[in-house]
Amino acid sequence: MLLKRLATISAATLLAGCAAGLSAAEASAATLNGQGSTLVAPLAQEWIAAWDSSTGNTINFQATGSGAGYKGVASGADDFGASDAPLAAYSSPPCNSCVQIPWALSATGVAFNVPGLRLPRGKALHLTPRVLAAIYLGQIKTWNNSAITRLNPGAHIPGATITPIWRNDASGDSFAFTSELSDISPTFRGQVGASTQPSFPAGVGAKGNSGMAATLANTNGGIAYISVAYLLANGLIHQTVAIQNNAGRYEEPNLSAIENAAAIVHSVPHGNQVTIVNPGRGAKNAYPISTFTYVMAPTNAPQGGLLQSFIAYALSGSGQSFGPRLGFAPLPRDVHNAAEATLHSIQ
């Protein structure tokens, strides 16, 4: 409660300055509509509550998945969209005059539900991206397959059937997960590929991160890719796989490993597409399925001043301070600076 109260006070201070630049119509109570990423939704709801309280305005945000977020803003149905996949991942409908602004940093974890599995004290279940690719291609069908047991010496792994669980809606988590597996496995790249809505040959689908967590809880032998905020909220963080990175180390999706993945960013390209999935060997302690998540908005937004004010709060120290307890690391300086520079293009 103290954190939220302090953030609200800081928001009031920040937004007092922003309000001076709004038109008379925008300065009165107004509503912004957005939808998209379920990954960023827990953090976005914190931003929204603090910003709404400070300004008297309202934001309606629906956690419908990254693909729906893109379509909402591209079609003009929404003021903004949220997506963990970049603009380049989408082609239809065109998002005319849209910019993407990285506003949060987190990761897609891989969790499992294997009754009877016992690991050595203090050890996480180890999997490589190649083994994950084979699981999601339906090539590895049981948990006690030698490809898994040899990565986990000293573990008792039962012979339960593996059920891969995947997103059946257009998802930035799917994009990050399949990008990692496509980078590592040519077979996966050829059969599935990197996509916001991939077609997997095995397993069952679920909608949104909440649906993924619920389906995993009810599926003995299940494995699912789920964003960190939902792993924390659903008590799954201790059932999370440590994935081998390019340095050969096995890392779990904690804040330190996410920050290490983002440390590879030393400059931000034009357009702000920043990829940190599968970082190189120099990122020794990086979690390999870390990702930035974006807000997408047209530069000629109907309520541009109001939208700029909300995004500015999300990028502020107060907005970013909500992140760590939800599994979001602070934005690196170079990414933050690029985000603020792009924000000024929204009018």
Domain 2-83+295-343 and domain 108-262 have a common topology: yes
Overall pTM > 0.85 = yes
Average pLDDT over residues 182-201: 97
> What is the residue extent of each domain of the chain?
2-83+295-343, 108-262
Is pLDDT above 60 for 145? yes
Rounded CA-CA distance 48/60 in Å is 9
3-state helix, strand, coil in the chain (%, to 5): 40, 20, 40
Rounded CA-CA distance 224/160 in Å is 15
What is the rounded average pLDDT for all residues in the chain? Answer: 92
| CB-facing half-sphere around the CA of 81: CA atoms within 13 A | 31
At residue 263, the pLDDT reads: 95
Is pLDDT above 80 for 7? no
Which tens digit of pLDDT belongs to each residue from 157-179?
999 999 999 999 999 999 999 99
Write the CB contacts of 25 (distance below 8 Å, at least 6 apart in sequence).
none
Contact 342, 99 (CB under 8 A): yes
> Residue 91 — pLDDT band, cuts 50, 70, 90?
confident
Is pLDDT above 70 for 335? yes
Average pLDDT over residues 196-203: 97
Q: What 3-state class would DSSP assign to 295?
A: strand
For residue 34, the cross-strand partners are 61, 80
At residue 22, the pLDDT reads: 41
At residue 27, the pLDDT reads: 47
At residue 18, the pLDDT reads: 42
Q: Which residue in 45, 173, 199, 168 sits closest to 109, CA to CA?
A: 173
At residue 90, the pLDDT reads: 94
Neighbours of 29 (CB within 10 A): 10
Rounded CA-CA distance 48/43 in Å is 9
Which tens digit of pLDDT belongs to each residue from 10-34?
333 334 334 334 443 444 689 999 9
Q: Which residue in 165, 88, 107, 104 sits closest to 313, CA to CA?
A: 104
Eight-class DSSP state of 37: -
| Terminal-residue alpha carbon distance, the chain | 34
From residue 15, alpha-carbon distances to 22, 27, 325 in Å are 11, 11, 24
For residue 297, the cross-strand partners are 99
212, amino acid identity:
M
Report residue 80 as tokens.
């903004």
Neighbours of 335 (CB within 10 A): 23
Q: How far is CA 168 from the centre of its chain?
A: 16
Rounded CA-CA distance 34/52 in Å is 14
The CATH code of the domain at 108-262 is 3.40.190.10
For residue 250, the cross-strand partners are 244
In this structure, CATH architecture of domain 2-83+295-343:
3-Layer(aba) Sandwich (3.40)
Report residue 294 as tokens.
């974006």
Q: How far is CA 216 from the centre of its chain?
A: 18
At residue 28, the pLDDT reads: 64
Task: Of 18-27, 45-54, 224-233, 320-329, give the lowest mean pLDDT range.
Answer: 18-27
| CB-facing half-sphere around the CA of 298: CA atoms within 13 A | 18
At residue 347, the pLDDT reads: 83
Name the one residue in this structure whose structure tokens are 């340095």. 247
By percentage, how much of the chain surpasses pLDDT 90? 90
Q: What are phi and psi of 335, to 5 degrees?
A: -70, -40
Is pLDDT above 50 for 147? yes
